[in-house]
Amino acid sequence: MHAAVAAADALLAVTATRIDADPATAHHDAVATVRAAVERACRSVLDAAPEIAGVDVLAGSPLLTARLADLQIYLRQHHGGRDLAALGRALVTPAT
């Protein structure tokens, strides 16, 4: 989980620096790439956290279960395969 979140965080920082350096450019592909990386990191957390925490912690930690539920709601904003397909098309289609 740490590696996935750290990688998404690093990509976000690099992308933010590039956007700040050239705010007139739209940066659509870079932003879509960051969103995909964050979505993947969130899914890694949702997959691993319950197993790592165990039943006792999940049952006894309303805060953890609330955070995992919030994360699932956040992920519903990502359009999954549709967003990834659009990113793939943008990356292989020459700019005009």
Q: What is the pLDDT along the chain (96 residues), one digit of tens a residue?
A: 899 999 999 999 999 999 999 999 999 999 999 999 999 999 999 999 999 999 999 899 999 999 999 999 988 887 778 888 988 998 898 766
The whole-number pLDDT of residue 96 equals: 60
Q: Is residue 78 packed enough to be buried (19+ CB in 10 Å), middle (13-18) or exposed (0-12)? A: middle
Q: Tokens for 42, please give them.
A: 């969130």
The whole-number pLDDT of residue 94 equals: 72
Q: What gap in Å lies between CA 86 and CA 93, rounded to an integer?
A: 10
Model pTM?
0.78
